[in-house]
Amino acid sequence: MISETQSTVLTDEQRKLSAVVREFADQVVAPAAYRYDTERRLPLEIIAQMGELGLFGLPFPTDVGGQGKDYVSLCLAVEALARVDQSIAVTLEAGVGLGIMPIFRHGTEEQKRRWLPDLLAGRALAAFGLTEADAGSDAGATRTTARLEPGAGPDGAGEWVIDGSKQFITNSGTPITSVVTVTAVTGERTDAGGVTRKELSSFLVPSGTPGFTVEPSYDKVGWHTSDTHPLTLDGVRVPASNLLGERGRGYANFLRALDEGRIAFAALATGAAQGCLEEALRYAKEREVFGHAIGSNQHIAFMLARMQARVHSARLCWLDAALKQTRGLPFKAEASVAKLVGGEAAMANARDASQIFGGYGFLNANPVARHYRDSKILEVGEGTTEVQLMIIARDLGLTTGLAS
């Protein structure tokens, strides 16, 4: 649902896109959501249709096979999908922001030619392997290593040998996953201040590479349709040419992608909050107790009013951050504010919607019950609430006692 505030800043093309994706979500995604949630599998036929709609290519230029739109457009699509199914929405969000964007931004022309056509068309998915058991927001704790063996490989150009493991990697084990970008320690570097830190680089690891194991999927509380796995890399060999971007820039190159991901994550959370509001409002108008609709009770009406306020605030936050991103303005703090506000809005609206539905809100067939299970991760994924507070505090100049 497009708010009046959005209508004043969005282009006609963006409003049309939002309406098209909303219709697709209502007619195609929503009817199948419960079935795929119980089956715990990603519906590839729906992903294919999303590809046909051009959703995976939205923020990329047409000369590489994209749709030539902007990041606001991607967020609008993510929000529209998340109203009815967060798993489908995060498949798009992660597939674009963490899967395709690093290759588009930092890949060589050869890497782009090899991977982008299928990824942008939704015929394939890519993943980003950063998180480990002891390393996520603290990328300096990364233990996965990569060493270069000069002269190795069929062409004699050398090979990288990667060893380690990754956790919580979205889109990493689907039947159409073609490549995973993996960060690894490739040595040490000493900065101008004399401080020595791990040198992190990133590598493109094709699915099916010997030694690269996609472990069994997690038994998650929510996001049952989303594909999420731990990964093991045991002597994985990739050509020297599979280094993505400059050596030693593996983490730095992804800082912008991570910040952008928080904006899209906030849009996803806003969609979830909106979906809860729509379901609860419909039920409050239909459900009668003691001869009148429960929505006429002031307590229920005020709950719904607060839900609307949360949606409106969350939407304004992600839209502000996304507009700054598209205009080339700094947006790091705004992205964290959006992610913080959106995640809390989704969780609060899911709780209130479930309460309004009463016993029906405890049934998994009910969309608000799935939102209740799904929404908790929105306060954790793409950086926890505490990490967002840390970033916002730093932006206020409050750095004492905060991790560097």
CA distance 202 to 186: 9
Contact 228, 69 (CB under 8 A): no
> Does pLDDT of 400 surpass 70?
no
Q: Is the pLDDT of residue 403 over 80?
A: no
Structure tokens at 314: 């969350």
Q: Which of 6-15, 110-119, 353-362, 390-399 has the lowest mean pLDDT?
A: 6-15
Structural element, H or E, at residue 16: helix 12-24
Is the pLDDT confidence value at 4 over 60?
no
CA–CA distance, 249 with 253 (Å, rounded to integer): 6
Q: Which fold has domain 126-250?
A: Butyryl-CoA Dehydrogenase, subunit A; domain 2 (2.40.110)
The predicted structure's pLDDT at residue 183: 94
CA 304 to chain centre: 27
pTM: 0.94
Residue type, 44: L
Provide φ and ψ at 38, rounded to 5°.
-75, -30
Closest to 372 (Cα-Cα) out of 306, 270, 303, 276: 276
110 in active site: no
Give the Cα separation of 390 and 396 in Å (integer): 10
Write down the pLDDT at residue 371: 98
| Contacts for 248-251: CB closer than 8 Å, 24+ residues apart | 248/186, 248/187, 248/189, 248/199, 248/200, 248/201, 249/106, 249/201, 249/202, 250/183, 250/184, 250/186, 250/200, 250/201, 250/202, 251/130, 251/139, 251/183, 251/200
| pLDDT bucket at 6, cuts 50 / 70 / 90 | low
Summary mean pLDDT of the chain = 93
Question: What does residue 130 show for φ and ψ, rounded to 5 degrees?
Answer: -105, -50
Signed CA dihedral, 324, 2, 299, 361: sign only: negative
Burial class for 216, CB neighbours closer than 10 Å (0-12, 13-18, 19+):
exposed
Whole-number pLDDT of residue 276: 98
- Which whole number is the average pLDDT over 267-273? 98
Is the pLDDT assigned to residue 215 strictly greater than 90? yes
Mean pLDDT along residues 117-143: 90
* Residues 245 and 313 sit within 8 Å (Cβ to Cβ): no
Using the predicted structure, report yes or no on whether residue 182 has a pLDDT greater than 90: yes
Q: Of the residues 260, 279, 382, 386, which is catalytic? A: 382
pLDDT for 145 beyond 50: yes
Comparison of pLDDT for 404 and 56, the residue scoring more: 56
Output 255 or 95, whichever has higher pLDDT: 95
Question: What angle, rounded to 10 degrees, do the helices at 367-375 and 332-357 form?
Answer: 140
Q: Would you say residue 139 has pLDDT above 80?
A: no
Of 276, 294, 292, 275, the C-alpha closest to 284 is: 294
The CATH 1.20.140.10 portion of the chain extends over: 253-395
The pLDDT-based confidence of 193 (bands split at 50, 70, 90) is confident
Interval 393-397 mean pLDDT: 94
Residue with the larger pLDDT of the pair 1 and 20:
20
Given a contact cutoff of 8 angstroms between Cβ atoms, the answer to whether 128 and 102 are in contact is: yes
Q: What is the mean pLDDT of residues 234-255?
A: 91
Q: Where in the chain is the domain with CATH 1.10.540.10?
A: 4-120
DSSP state letter for 140: G
**CATH number of the structural domain 4-120:** 1.10.540.10
**Which amino acid does the sequence have at 57?**
G
Average pLDDT over residues 327-345: 97
- Report the pLDDT value the prediction gives residue 404, as an integer from 0 to 100: 46
- Exposure pattern of 142-174 as b/e (b: 16+ CB <10 Å)? bebbbeeeeebbeeeeebbbbbbbbbbbbbbbb
Higher pLDDT, 135 or 123: 123
* Token code pair at residue 66: 């994209």
Strand partners, 293: 288
Instruction: In whole angstroms, give the CA distance from residue 117 to residue 122.
Output: 9
Q: Fold for 253-395, please state it.
A: Butyryl-CoA Dehydrogenase, subunit A; domain 3 (1.20.140)
Look up tokens 């307590």; give the residue. 299
Domain with CATH 2.40.110.10 in the chain: 126-250
Backbone angles phi, psi at 132, to 5 degrees: -130, 180
Contact 200, 255 (CB under 8 A): no
